[in-house]
């Protein structure tokens, strides 16, 4: 009987994996220490694309964009991950605000290299990517805090393409809240496991546990 239950759980897990494939998430969690440096395409202006690296090893982890325009940090300084979720520490204060769904959609498209309209973002050409980085950063801030201008191609894309795809919520996108010993704060976008991924993992562990118990 126990073997049959384990088999059923395994089959269900495989079916769910086929419907909801596991998402790649950035390897970062609360308590980690990281540093931020300009990505090669960042002009050194406010915002833009940054590289998140492990502070101790200097290993690059992923590239990201600021989601809060009124926070500051020093390039290369040691920053500790305070939280990973869907809340932004507004102006570095104590009152969080929710991550905008369209901002999450834009970063999802960027992070997965999956823009669904040809030519929307240029990953290959350095000059074109630098220009797109600036536009994308502006779109993120406009959508998050109001004043979105559809003449920005990324604002336009977020509004209409997300509707075509049926995007809701924040999907596999979250916010990492960073703090430095200097008192500096930063909120950056990152890929995080979706709730369905956690459910799948939990179900798999239960199935393995039942199987092992039966084998004993």
pLDDT tens-digit readout, 196-210:
333 333 443 344 444
pLDDT for the residue 92: 66
Q: What's the 3-state SS for the chain?
A: CHHHHHHHHHHHHHHHHHHCCCCCCCCCCCCCEEEEEECCCCCCCCCCEEEEEECCCCCEEEEEEECCCCCCCCCCCCEEEEEEECEEEHHHCCCEEECCHHHHHHHHHHHCCCCCCCCCCCCCCHHHHHHHHHHHHHHHHHHHHCCCCCCCHHHHHHHHHHHHHCCCCCCCEEEEEEEECCCCEEEEEEECCCHHHHHHHHHHHHHHHHHHHHHC
Task: Name residues whose C-beta falls within 8 Å of residue 160's C-beta, 6 or more positions apart in sequence.
Answer: none
pLDDT for the residue 207: 44
Q: Which residues of the chain have pLDDT under 50?
A: 2, 5-23, 195-213, 215
Residue closest to 19 by CA, chosen among 196, 207, 174: 196
- Contact between 207 and 10 under an 8 Å Cβ cutoff? The reply is yes
Query: So where are the chain's domains?
Result: 1-23+193-216, 24-191
pLDDT for the residue 177: 95
Q: How many CB atoms lie within 10 A of CB 190?
A: 22
148 phi-psi bin (left φ>0, alpha ψ -120 to 50, beta other): beta
pLDDT for the residue 37: 95
Cα-flanking dihedrals φ and ψ of residue 63, to 5°? -110, 150
pLDDT tens-digit readout, 107-137:
999 999 989 898 899 998 999 999 999 999 9
pLDDT for the residue 38: 94
Place of tokens 């909801």: 20
């Amino acid at each position: 009987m126990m073997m049959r239950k384990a088999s059923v759980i395994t089959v269900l897990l495989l079916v769910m994996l086929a419907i909801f494939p596991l998402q790649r998430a950035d390897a970062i969690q609360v308590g980690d220490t990281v540093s931020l440096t300009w990505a090669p395409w960042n002009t050194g202006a406010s915002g833009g694309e940054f590289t998140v690296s492990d502070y101790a090893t200097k290993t690059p982890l992923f590239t990201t964009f600021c989601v809060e325009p009124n926070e500051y940090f020093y390039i290369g300084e040691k920053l500790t991950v305070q939280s990973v979720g869907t809340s932004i520490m507004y102006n570095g204060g104590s009152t969080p605000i929710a991550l905008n769904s369209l901002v999450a959609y834009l970063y999802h498209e960027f992070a997965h290299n999956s823009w669904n309209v040809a030519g929307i973002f240029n990953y290959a050409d350095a000059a074109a990517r630098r220009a797109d980085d600036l536009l994308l950063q502006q779109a993120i801030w406009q959508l998050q805090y109001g004043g979105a201008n559809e003449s920005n191609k990324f604002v336009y894309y977020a509004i209409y393409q997300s509707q075509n795809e049926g995007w809701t919520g924040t999907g596999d996108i979250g916010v990492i809240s960073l703090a430095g010993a200097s008192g500096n704060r930063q909120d950056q976008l990152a890929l995080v496991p979706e709730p369905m991924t956690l459910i799948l993992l939990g179900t798999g562990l239960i199935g393995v546990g039942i199987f092992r118990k039966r084998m004993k």
